[in-house]
Amino acid sequence: MHAALRTATFTDSVIRRMTRVCLQHDAINLSQGFPDFDPPQELTARLAQVALTGPHQYAITWGAQNLREAIAAKIEHFSGQAVDPNSELVVTCGSTEAMMASVLATVNAGEKVAIFSPFYENYGADTILCDAQPIYVPLRPPAFDFDPAALEQAFAQGAKALILCNPSNPCGKVFSREEMETIAAIVKKYDAFVITDEVYEHILYKPHEHVYMATLPGMKERTLVCNSFSKTYSITGWRLGYVQGPANIIDAVRKVHDFLTVGAAAPLQEALIAGLQLPDSYYEELQETYTHKRELFCSGLDSLGLSYYKPQGAYYVLVDIGKFGYESDLKFCEDLASKVGVGAVPGSSFFRENVNNYIRFHFAKKEDTLKAALERLKNINLLQK
């Protein structure tokens, strides 16, 4: 008896594996990106109420009506684009399910999907599980820009969709309006889809701004937006996200979602509405908080003499470890956890190219946690080969 072949070509998630390595060595976990601080009190208070009042039974499979209406209102508020909560939205179990359901709903077995590299590791597994073939388009260090001709080449080879993570995990790039327009023009020329991952939409550093792909001319009908509430409201464990897209494709996403999960947790859907009703000042403070964390962590890296790409958005930093002389970035991360006491993710789990000189830290942690990690990182030179 053997497991099915479709799982043979990818490993478990290295990001989540590094969390287990951190636990084993009591290392400060700057690998898997999740906060060690609480969600807004409005959300936790509402959750406590909902525990007593319900709902405790299934919500409508594609998301409770009042939650979809609140999501549509938030999308319109921030992007200026009206979305029909009854036909253009599906509530999912996090953006992980949103992405998988979107690829399953748009890409046939044997078809191709373009993915920028470096990429969030789920996308590779998503395409493989859909029996599709990824075509990787490099984002070129140090600026992580792309060659439009290389992107076009992916579509000329038949890519049916592009997965676009913006702001980008792991490199922190925010695609400019001009870059987004270049992508849109190519996608329209080849009559393809864009499947976006916009979970860091509200975690941006000035002067960078989030451009919503679905709002560019002619893109709403060919864009599936995958998003989640995990990062915006610090509720990664609630596993709540959504797909927004044109009604004919959302109809297919609903079917996939229905049979994959039936639905996201009903009490959490109800409690989440309190988050969606938070005023604009919440999002402004979120940006200020993360800007402060970025400055704290990056200036710590500067004092340690480490070079890195300063993120424009999201809460990750790719640090260059070339000077330490390791052949394996995975081994470097294992040593960093066991000997220095800080967890990071090996960069090779994000790059298609043969790259071994990056590690990824995240800084979605309390100030004290970040200071403690920087203190430990003073010993990073122990790893010099």
Q: Which residues bind ligand GLN (CB under 6 A)?
A: 15-16, 32-33, 120, 169
Q: How far is the CB of 16 from ligand GLN (least distance, A)?
A: 5
d(CA 178, CA 206): 17
d(CA 382, CA 329): 15
- Secondary structure class of 118 (helix, strand, coil): coil
Chain position whose Cβ is nearest to ligand GLN: 33
User: For ligand GLN, which is the closer residue by CB, 19 or 153?
Assistant: 19
User: For ligand GLN, which is the closer residue by CB, 19 or 66?
Assistant: 19
User: For ligand GLN, which is the closer residue by CB, 34 or 190?
Assistant: 34
| Beta-sheet pairing, 28-29 with 133-138 | unpaired
Specify the residue for token string 């290389």.
150
Q: How far is the CB of 117 from ligand GLN (least distance, A)?
A: 15
Instruction: Output the DSSP codes for 324-349.
Output: G--S-HHHHHHHIIIII-EE-EEGGG
Q: How far is the CB of 37 from ligand GLN (least distance, A)?
A: 16
User: For ligand GLN, which is the closer residue by CB, 16 or 77?
Assistant: 16
User: For ligand GLN, which is the closer residue by CB, 33 or 172?
Assistant: 33
User: For ligand GLN, which is the closer residue by CB, 99 or 340?
Assistant: 99
d(CA 61, CA 64): 8
Q: How far is the CB of 314 from ligand GLN (least distance, A)?
A: 9
Longest CA span, the chain: 59
Q: Judge residue 338's burial from the number of C-beta atoms within 10 Å of its C-beta, 0-12 exposed, 13-18 middle, 19 or more buried.
A: middle
User: For ligand GLN, which is the closer residue by CB, 33 or 85?
Assistant: 33
Q: How far is the CB of 230 from ligand GLN (least distance, A)?
A: 8
User: For ligand GLN, which is the closer residue by CB, 101 or 219?
Assistant: 101
Residue 262 zone, left/alpha/beta (φ > 0; ψ -120 to 50; rest): left
d(CA 230, CA 147): 32
Q: How far is the CB of 140 from ligand GLN (least distance, A)?
A: 21
Q: How far is the CB of 307 from ligand GLN (least distance, A)?
A: 22
- Closest by alpha carbon to 67, among 235, 237, 245, 267? 267
Q: Judge residue 241's burial from the number of C-beta atoms within 10 Å of its C-beta, 0-12 exposed, 13-18 middle, 19 or more buried.
A: buried
Q: How far is the CB of 239 from ligand GLN (least distance, A)?
A: 9
Q: How far is the CB of 100 from ligand GLN (least distance, A)?
A: 12
Amino acid code (one letter) for 292: H
How many other CB atoms sit within 10 Å of the CB of residue 34?
17
Looking at residue 114, the DSSP 8-state letter turns out to be: E
User: For ligand GLN, which is the closer residue by CB, 119 or 326?
Assistant: 119
